[in-house]
Amino acid sequence: ARNWLRVDAYSEVGSGMNLFPASLIGETSSADLLKVAAAWTTQVTDRVDFTLSGAVGRTFGASPVTADIDWIGPVAGRAADLTFVEYGGRVGWALTRATMLDAFVLGTTGDKIGTHTQLGGSLKVKF
């Protein structure tokens, strides 16, 4: 995948409260992401199924966004290259033929980004 971040032009005014005003030109930064994912779903009973999923990926090649700061000069910042893993599980219960209740947990862990976990649920109704 390729991701883009668009930064609009921005300029600060120098003052006694802001000794280092910054100016940015409008730019677009991009980064590439390579990820391999797999998921396995099984029907446990007529009314219960579950899915396990996992992925490993790496971001790389981010281009910088630059700014000009008074008294310092030009500076550039870019997203760091990092490796990450994603994992998840979902359990679904068929309440009726037309109604399904799901519960899930999803997580991402990586160097430089730490761990982020989400818990949730959904109610699906067929019409």
Question: Would you write out the chain's pLDDT as a tens digit for each of its 127 residues?
Answer: 999 989 899 899 999 999 999 998 889 999 999 999 999 999 999 999 999 999 999 999 888 888 999 989 999 888 889 999 999 999 999 999 999 999 999 999 998 899 999 999 999 999 9
Written as six digits, the tokens of 57 are 């990926």
Find, among 38, 49, 122, 121, the residue nearest to 87 by Cα.
38
Burial class (CB in 10 A: 0-12, 13-18, 19+), 39: exposed
Residue 122 sits at φ, ψ, to 5 deg, of: -150, 155
